[in-house]
Protein backbone atom coordinates (compact mmCIF):
# COMPACT_ATOMS: atom_id res chain seq x y z
CA UNK A 1 0.00 0.00 0.00
CA UNK A 2 1.17 3.52 -0.83
CA UNK A 3 0.32 5.72 2.14
CA UNK A 4 -1.25 9.12 1.60
CA UNK A 5 -2.62 10.03 5.03
CA UNK A 6 0.02 8.50 7.28
CA UNK A 7 3.78 8.11 7.33
CA UNK A 8 5.19 4.75 8.39
CA UNK A 9 8.62 3.25 8.77
CA UNK A 10 9.99 0.23 10.60
CA UNK A 11 13.69 -0.11 11.32
CA UNK A 12 15.83 -1.45 14.18
CA UNK A 13 12.73 -2.79 15.93
CA UNK A 14 11.07 0.64 16.03
CA UNK A 15 7.81 1.16 14.16
CA UNK A 16 6.98 4.83 13.64
CA UNK A 17 3.44 5.72 12.61
CA UNK A 18 2.66 9.39 12.02
CA UNK A 19 -0.84 10.63 11.27
CA UNK A 20 -0.26 12.89 8.27
CA UNK A 21 -3.11 15.24 7.41
CA UNK A 22 -1.59 18.31 9.06
CA UNK A 23 -3.86 20.77 7.24
CA UNK A 24 -6.83 19.01 8.90
CA UNK A 25 -5.11 18.53 12.28
CA UNK A 26 -4.75 14.85 11.34
CA UNK A 27 -8.47 14.17 11.62
CA UNK A 28 -9.51 10.68 10.64
CA UNK A 29 -11.06 9.69 7.34
CA UNK A 30 -11.97 6.22 6.13
CA UNK A 31 -8.78 6.20 4.08
CA UNK A 32 -6.62 7.12 7.06
CA UNK A 33 -8.22 4.31 9.07
CA UNK A 34 -7.44 1.86 6.26
CA UNK A 35 -3.83 2.99 6.11
CA UNK A 36 -3.40 2.79 9.89
CA UNK A 37 -4.89 -0.72 9.88
CA UNK A 38 -2.47 -1.77 7.15
CA UNK A 39 0.49 -0.31 9.04
CA UNK A 40 -0.54 -2.09 12.24
CA UNK A 41 -0.52 -5.40 10.40
CA UNK A 42 3.09 -4.68 9.51
CA UNK A 43 3.80 -3.82 13.15
CA UNK A 44 2.33 -7.18 14.17
CA UNK A 45 4.22 -9.25 11.59
CA UNK A 46 7.54 -7.59 10.73
CA UNK A 47 9.49 -7.77 13.98
CA UNK A 48 8.66 -4.48 15.67
CA UNK A 49 9.50 -4.23 19.36
CA UNK A 50 7.88 -0.83 19.98
CA UNK A 51 5.31 1.32 18.20
CA UNK A 52 5.67 5.10 18.27
CA UNK A 53 2.48 6.95 17.32
CA UNK A 54 2.41 10.70 16.75
CA UNK A 55 1.01 13.39 14.46
CA UNK A 56 2.44 15.65 11.76
CA UNK A 57 2.35 19.41 12.00
CA UNK A 58 0.90 21.37 14.88
CA UNK A 59 -1.68 18.83 16.05
CA UNK A 60 -1.77 15.22 17.17
CA UNK A 61 -5.31 14.36 16.03
CA UNK A 62 -8.58 16.30 15.97
CA UNK A 63 -10.68 13.12 15.91
CA UNK A 64 -13.14 12.36 13.14
CA UNK A 65 -13.21 14.43 9.97
CA UNK A 66 -16.84 15.51 10.23
CA UNK A 67 -17.08 16.23 6.51
CA UNK A 68 -17.18 12.46 5.99
CA UNK A 69 -19.93 11.87 8.56
CA UNK A 70 -22.44 14.59 7.73
CA UNK A 71 -26.07 13.88 6.77
CA UNK A 72 -26.72 12.67 3.23
CA UNK A 73 -28.20 15.13 0.69
CA UNK A 74 -31.66 13.66 1.38
CA UNK A 75 -31.25 14.36 5.10
CA UNK A 76 -30.53 10.77 6.16
CA UNK A 77 -28.27 10.92 9.22
CA UNK A 78 -25.00 8.98 9.25
CA UNK A 79 -24.77 5.77 11.27
CA UNK A 80 -22.17 6.81 13.83
CA UNK A 81 -22.46 3.43 15.54
CA UNK A 82 -21.21 1.83 12.33
CA UNK A 83 -18.29 4.28 12.30
CA UNK A 84 -17.33 3.25 15.84
CA UNK A 85 -17.82 -0.45 15.12
CA UNK A 86 -15.90 -0.43 11.85
CA UNK A 87 -13.06 1.93 12.65
CA UNK A 88 -12.51 3.26 16.16
CA UNK A 89 -13.27 0.20 18.30
CA UNK A 90 -11.03 -2.10 16.21
CA UNK A 91 -8.24 0.47 16.36
CA UNK A 92 -8.32 0.63 20.15
CA UNK A 93 -8.53 -3.15 20.41
CA UNK A 94 -5.49 -3.60 18.19
CA UNK A 95 -3.38 -1.10 20.10
CA UNK A 96 -4.49 -2.72 23.34
CA UNK A 97 -3.48 -6.18 22.07
CA UNK A 98 -0.10 -5.32 20.51
CA UNK A 99 2.56 -7.47 22.22
CA UNK A 100 4.90 -4.52 22.68
CA UNK A 101 4.86 -1.03 24.21
CA UNK A 102 2.82 1.59 22.38
CA UNK A 103 4.44 5.00 22.91
CA UNK A 104 2.24 7.96 21.99
CA UNK A 105 3.79 11.36 21.39
CA UNK A 106 1.17 14.10 21.59
CA UNK A 107 2.74 16.95 19.67
CA UNK A 108 -0.27 19.30 19.73
CA UNK A 109 -4.01 19.36 20.21
CA UNK A 110 -5.67 15.98 20.79
CA UNK A 111 -9.44 16.36 20.52
CA UNK A 112 -12.39 14.00 20.50
CA UNK A 113 -11.40 10.57 19.26
CA UNK A 114 -7.86 11.92 18.95
CA UNK A 115 -7.65 12.48 22.70
CA UNK A 116 -8.90 9.00 23.50
CA UNK A 117 -6.63 7.48 20.86
CA UNK A 118 -3.73 9.03 22.76
CA UNK A 119 -4.98 7.55 26.03
CA UNK A 120 -5.02 4.11 24.38
CA UNK A 121 -1.22 4.18 24.40
CA UNK A 122 0.88 2.49 27.08
CA UNK A 123 3.33 5.36 27.58
CA UNK A 124 2.03 8.81 26.63
CA UNK A 125 4.16 11.93 26.54
CA UNK A 126 3.00 15.35 25.43
CA UNK A 127 4.49 18.70 24.58
CA UNK A 128 3.87 21.33 27.22
CA UNK A 129 1.95 23.32 24.60
CA UNK A 130 -0.38 20.41 23.80
CA UNK A 131 -3.88 20.02 25.18
CA UNK A 132 -6.66 17.45 25.34
CA UNK A 133 -10.34 18.11 24.62
CA UNK A 134 -13.30 15.77 25.06
CA UNK A 135 -15.21 17.68 22.41
CA UNK A 136 -18.01 15.15 21.94
CA UNK A 137 -20.44 16.98 24.22
CA UNK A 138 -20.34 19.98 21.89
CA UNK A 139 -21.85 17.76 19.18
CA UNK A 140 -24.38 15.98 21.38
CA UNK A 141 -22.28 12.80 21.49
CA UNK A 142 -20.47 10.65 24.04
CA UNK A 143 -16.70 10.07 24.36
CA UNK A 144 -15.98 7.10 22.10
CA UNK A 145 -12.69 5.41 21.13
CA UNK A 146 -12.65 3.96 24.63
CA UNK A 147 -13.14 7.32 26.34
CA UNK A 148 -15.97 6.24 28.63
CA UNK A 149 -13.79 3.31 29.74
CA UNK A 150 -10.42 4.95 30.32
CA UNK A 151 -11.41 8.36 31.68
CA UNK A 152 -13.03 7.28 34.98
CA UNK A 153 -10.30 4.68 35.51
CA UNK A 154 -7.51 7.18 34.97
CA UNK A 155 -8.87 10.27 36.73
CA UNK A 156 -11.94 9.17 38.73
CA UNK A 157 -15.65 9.81 38.26
CA UNK A 158 -15.76 13.52 39.10
CA UNK A 159 -12.97 14.56 36.75
CA UNK A 160 -14.18 12.21 34.02
CA UNK A 161 -17.64 13.75 34.23
CA UNK A 162 -16.23 17.26 34.06
CA UNK A 163 -14.04 16.49 31.07
CA UNK A 164 -16.81 14.69 29.20
CA UNK A 165 -19.68 17.06 29.97
CA UNK A 166 -17.91 20.43 29.71
CA UNK A 167 -15.50 19.75 26.87
CA UNK A 168 -12.95 22.21 28.26
CA UNK A 169 -9.31 22.17 27.21
CA UNK A 170 -7.04 20.25 29.55
CA UNK A 171 -3.41 21.30 29.36
CA UNK A 172 -0.70 18.69 29.05
CA UNK A 173 0.70 19.82 32.39
CA UNK A 174 -2.66 19.23 34.08
CA UNK A 175 -3.07 15.91 32.26
CA UNK A 176 0.23 14.80 33.77
CA UNK A 177 -0.80 15.96 37.24
CA UNK A 178 -4.09 14.05 36.96
CA UNK A 179 -2.41 10.83 35.79
CA UNK A 180 -3.87 10.89 32.27
CA UNK A 181 -0.40 10.77 30.68
CA UNK A 182 3.06 9.65 31.72
CA UNK A 183 4.95 12.88 31.13
CA UNK A 184 4.61 16.47 29.96
CA UNK A 185 7.87 17.75 28.47
CA UNK A 186 9.10 21.10 27.25
CA UNK A 187 8.40 21.57 23.56
CA UNK A 188 12.08 21.75 22.66
CA UNK A 189 12.77 18.48 24.52
CA UNK A 190 9.85 16.54 23.02
CA UNK A 191 11.56 15.01 19.98
CA UNK A 192 14.59 13.84 21.95
CA UNK A 193 12.43 12.40 24.73
CA UNK A 194 10.30 10.48 22.25
CA UNK A 195 13.39 9.17 20.47
CA UNK A 196 15.01 8.07 23.73
CA UNK A 197 11.88 6.13 24.70
CA UNK A 198 11.76 4.46 21.30
CA UNK A 199 15.41 3.44 21.52
CA UNK A 200 14.97 2.20 25.09
CA UNK A 201 12.06 -0.07 24.23
CA UNK A 202 13.73 -1.34 21.04
CA UNK A 203 16.42 -2.89 23.29
CA UNK A 204 14.16 -3.97 26.16
CA UNK A 205 12.86 -7.47 27.01
CA UNK A 206 9.81 -7.19 24.75
CA UNK A 207 8.06 -10.39 25.82
CA UNK A 208 8.24 -9.40 29.47
CA UNK A 209 6.83 -5.96 28.66
CA UNK A 210 4.04 -7.53 26.61
CA UNK A 211 3.10 -9.74 29.55
CA UNK A 212 3.25 -6.75 31.89
CA UNK A 213 0.85 -4.93 29.61
CA UNK A 214 -1.55 -7.88 29.53
CA UNK A 215 -1.40 -8.37 33.28
CA UNK A 216 -2.15 -4.73 34.08
CA UNK A 217 -5.03 -4.73 31.59
CA UNK A 218 -6.47 -7.92 33.07
CA UNK A 219 -6.29 -6.51 36.61
CA UNK A 220 -9.10 -4.08 35.79
CA UNK A 221 -11.57 -6.97 35.64
CA UNK A 222 -9.98 -9.57 37.91
CA UNK A 223 -10.32 -10.22 41.62
CA UNK A 224 -7.13 -10.66 43.65
CA UNK A 225 -7.12 -14.47 43.55
CA UNK A 226 -7.51 -14.53 39.77
CA UNK A 227 -4.81 -11.93 39.32
CA UNK A 228 -2.37 -13.83 41.55
CA UNK A 229 -2.96 -16.95 39.47
CA UNK A 230 -2.31 -14.95 36.31
CA UNK A 231 0.94 -13.61 37.77
CA UNK A 232 2.02 -17.16 38.61
CA UNK A 233 1.33 -18.43 35.10
CA UNK A 234 3.06 -15.50 33.44
CA UNK A 235 6.11 -15.73 35.68
CA UNK A 236 6.37 -19.45 34.94
CA UNK A 237 6.45 -18.80 31.19
CA UNK A 238 8.75 -15.77 31.38
CA UNK A 239 11.16 -17.68 33.62
CA UNK A 240 11.77 -20.01 30.68
CA UNK A 241 12.44 -17.19 28.22
CA UNK A 242 15.74 -16.34 26.58
CA UNK A 243 15.50 -12.75 27.81
CA UNK A 244 15.21 -13.86 31.44
CA UNK A 245 18.29 -16.06 31.07
CA UNK A 246 20.15 -13.15 29.48
CA UNK A 247 19.01 -10.74 32.18
CA UNK A 248 20.27 -13.00 34.97
CA UNK A 249 23.55 -13.67 33.17
CA UNK A 250 24.10 -9.95 32.60
CA UNK A 251 23.31 -9.13 36.22
CA UNK A 252 25.72 -11.76 37.56
CA UNK A 253 28.34 -10.79 35.01
CA UNK A 254 27.99 -7.09 35.80
CA UNK A 255 27.36 -6.14 32.16
CA UNK A 256 24.56 -4.63 30.11
CA UNK A 257 22.01 -7.20 28.92
CA UNK A 258 21.52 -7.84 25.21
CA UNK A 259 17.80 -8.62 25.05
CA UNK A 260 16.31 -10.14 21.91
CA UNK A 261 12.67 -9.67 22.87
CA UNK A 262 12.12 -13.42 23.28
Q: Give me the domains of the chain, ranges plus CATH numbers.
A: 6-202 (3.90.226.10), 206-253 (1.10.12)
Asked if the model's pLDDT at residue 130 lies above 90, the reply is: yes
Residue 84 has pLDDT above 90, yes or no: yes
Mean of pLDDT values over 168-192:
98
Q: DSSP letters of 142-207? A: --TTTHHHHHHHHH-HHHHHHHHHH--EEEHHHHHHHTSSSEEE-GGGHHHHHHHHHHHHHTS-HH
pLDDT of residue 74 exceeding 90: no
Residues 172-190, mean pLDDT to the nearest whole number = 98
> pTM of this prediction?
0.95
| Mean of pLDDT values over 135-149 | 97
pLDDT at 1: 83
The helix, strand and coil proportions of the chain, stated in percent and rounded to the nearest 5, come to 50, 15, 30
**Over pLDDT 90: what percentage of the chain?**
95
- pLDDT of the residue at 14: 98
Confidence band for 88, pLDDT divided at 50, 70 and 90 = very high
* pLDDT of 262 above 90: no
Amino acid sequence: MTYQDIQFELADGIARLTLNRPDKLNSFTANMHAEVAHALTRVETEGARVLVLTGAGRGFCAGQDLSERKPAPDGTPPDLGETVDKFYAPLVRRLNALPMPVVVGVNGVAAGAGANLAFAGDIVIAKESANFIQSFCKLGLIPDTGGTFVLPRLVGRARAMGLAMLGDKLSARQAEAWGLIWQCVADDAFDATLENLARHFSRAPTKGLAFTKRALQASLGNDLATQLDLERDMMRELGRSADYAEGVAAFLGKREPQFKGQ
